[in-house]
Chains A and B, each alone.
Chain A
Amino acid sequence: MAQHYSSFDRGGRRWLFQRLTAVFLIGVLAFHFMLLHFVNHAADLTFLGTQARMSQVSYFATMWLFLVTATFHGVNGVYNALVNQGLTGSRKNAVKYLLGIAGLLLVVQGTRVSLAMTTLV
């Protein structure tokens, strides 16, 4: 077994946040699938039903945190996978900013969607 067997830099913050978001996402992704496929069947979803769920503060907060953590985990994961494939120099920098902007746009649009689904604000 190799001494250090990780795709990330040792002690890096990206590594730590990838793990911390993973712990949160394990529970929330499973909960999301259970609620919207088993408790409520996806085919029976309506805007009013979604609005009722999203108008509870705890559910809204959980879903918005889900959006932010999943976006970070996904975009950071893609970046890491590309660095792993040997991406370096200015291309690495370009990819970093491109993924950062894509992630930011997704969070902005996801927030707009969240606000459209709730009566909280």
Chain B
Amino acid sequence: MSQSYNRGTVEDFGRWREFSAGMWAWIFHKFTGWVLVGYLFTHIAVLSTSVGVDPASAQAGSDLYTSTISGLESLLIVRFLEVGLLAVAVFHILNGIRLLMVDLGVGLESQDKSFYASLLLTGAIVVASVPTFLGGKLA
């Protein structure tokens, strides 16, 4: 039943023109994974401004945590980076569902189509979310 196709190693990135859909999915999943784990460390670092917040300044809304977040959110570049983060997270989630299906042996013969579907759906969700991410108060 099963047949082997020798497509070479996906790590040999120099031959990217020959890559199939599944190989691109593998690369995108690794890339988005690297971004997300990097962001996780950064995120906890930023949220660390909540440690030792003075209750009086928190009541006044002038504590370090609140001002750090509103300061970051006032930068347009941060809003665009957040859209990028959303794109990365949505693709990783959708392709992750696809990978779970592949692992369970569900829809193996359409794994290339489900990769394209993940890409399209990611694009649609990100485009639809842009107004929300860029909206709200800016400096």
Residues on A facing B (Cβ under 8 Å): 1-3, 5-6, 19, 22-23, 25-26, 29-30, 33, 37-38, 41-48, 50-51, 67, 70-71, 74-75, 77-78, 81, 84-86, 102, 106, 109-110, 112-113, 116-117
Q: Classify the interface of chain A: helix, strand, loop or mixed.
A: helix
Number of A-B contacts (CB under 8 A): 110
Complex CA distance for A78 and B31, rounded to whole angstroms: 10
Q: Are A116 and B133 in contact (CB under 8 A)?
A: no
Shortest Cβ distance from B4 into A: residue: A2
Complex CA distance for A117 and B47, rounded to whole angstroms: 9
Complex CA distance for A26 and B96, rounded to whole angstroms: 8
Q: Are B30 and A109 in contact (CB under 8 A)?
A: no
Q: Are A71 and B2 in contact (CB under 8 A)?
A: no
**What's the least CB distance linking A100 to chain B, in Å?**
14
Q: Which residues of A contact B5 (CB under 8 A)?
A: 1-2
Q: Which of A44, A47, A106 contacts B40 (CB 8 A)?
A: A106
Q: Which residues of B contact A22 (CB under 8 A)?
A: 96, 99-100
